[in-house]
Amino acid sequence: MTLNEIPIIYQDHHLLVVNKPAGLVIHPTYKNADGTMWDVLLVYLAEQGKDDWQPPVLPDEPQWAGAPEHIQVMLREKRVEQQWKEDGLLPRPCLLHRLDKDTSGVVALARSEQILVPHLRFQGMLRQRMMYHAICPSLYCQMMILF
């Protein structure tokens, strides 16, 4: 499996969206230890290396004005550290959802906590439900799908 077989739909600092073809396993399992979409994407991202994202330089908070200079420096460093934690790249991308091996479709991966954390909160609020659409030539098949 190569990256050419997994079209990238969208990529930025925070998000990677790909079009998974049918027949491809998303992540390694005991049945499919390698040759997965996950393996291909990890190699692709490693070859890309780090992006050039930097946290924005923000003005000092007004309440810092009366603090000694060394305290202001420490507060600036802590804020930048927090920005890197929230917006910097995760050590590895995180799958936001999965598709079955025989299902094709869009798969999204979070590359930063800015995408991952709200997604996890939202996911916790919803009960996940899978819905499949099928074309059935007979009434018997249609009735079986309802149950």
Report the pLDDT value the prediction gives residue 63, as an integer from 0 to 100.
Answer: 92
How is residue 31 written in tokens? 């049945």
- CATH (one of 3.50.50.60, 3.40.640.10, 3.40.190.10, 3.30.2350.10) for 3-53+88-146: 3.30.2350.10
Per the residue annotation, which of 60, 87, 100, 102 is the catalytic one? 100
Question: Tens-digit pLDDT profile for the chain (147 aa)?
Answer: 666 788 899 988 888 899 988 888 888 888 877 888 888 888 888 888 777 777 788 899 999 998 999 988 999 999 888 888 777 777 778 888 888 888 888 988 888 887 777 676 666 655 555 566 666 665 555 444 443
CA-based torsion, 21, 24, 28, 29: positive or negative: positive
First-residue to last-residue Cα distance in the chain: 37
Report the pLDDT value the prediction gives residue 68, as an integer from 0 to 100.
Answer: 92
Report the pLDDT value the prediction gives residue 143, as an integer from 0 to 100.
Answer: 46
Report the pLDDT value the prediction gives residue 138, as an integer from 0 to 100.
Answer: 59
Q: 100 an active-site residue?
A: yes
Report the pLDDT value the prediction gives residue 123, as an integer from 0 to 100.
Answer: 64
Q: What share of the chain is helix, strand, coil (3-state, %, to 5)?
A: 40, 15, 45
Around Cβ 48, how many Cβ atoms within 10 Å? 9
Report the pLDDT value the prediction gives residue 145, as an integer from 0 to 100.
Answer: 46
**Domain ranges within the chain, ordered by starting residue:** 3-53+88-146
Pairing of strands 8-11, 105-112: unpaired
Around Cβ 24, how many Cβ atoms within 10 Å? 20
